[in-house]
Amino acid sequence: VVRELWLLSKKGGRRGKAAALVLNRLIPVYFSIASLDGKADDDVLKLAKETGGFLVTCDSELRRRAEKSGVTVIYYRRALRRFTT
């Protein structure tokens, strides 16, 4: 996940700036980084299941996979202009 954020931050634009903000300010303060040996989506799902945590994503495929495996998902509903579970 951190690698994906780093790659996004190098591209620039709004998404790049947001990724850089998360990398530089939010991750060091609010999150612990677990190093797992798989694809980022698989690692995130595994970590959420193991810790009983929830997943925040805009990726519809990842959201469906998480819901199927019993992980609580928070995502943005553009039509409603808000986050929902």
pLDDT of residue 39: 82
CA–CA gap between residue 71 and residue 48 (Å, rounded): 7
Q: Which domains does the chain have, with CATH numbers?
A: 1-33 (no CATH), 37-84 (3.40.50.1010)
- Does the pTM of the predicted model rise above 0.85? no
Mean pLDDT of each 10-residue bin along the chain, 85 residues long: 81 86 74 68 88 88 95 87 81
CA–CA gap between residue 17 and residue 15 (Å, rounded): 5
pLDDT of residue 28: 67
The answer to whether the CB of 48 falls within 8 A of the CB of 55 is yes
pLDDT of residue 64: 95
The tokens of 76 are what? 């943005």
pLDDT of residue 68: 96
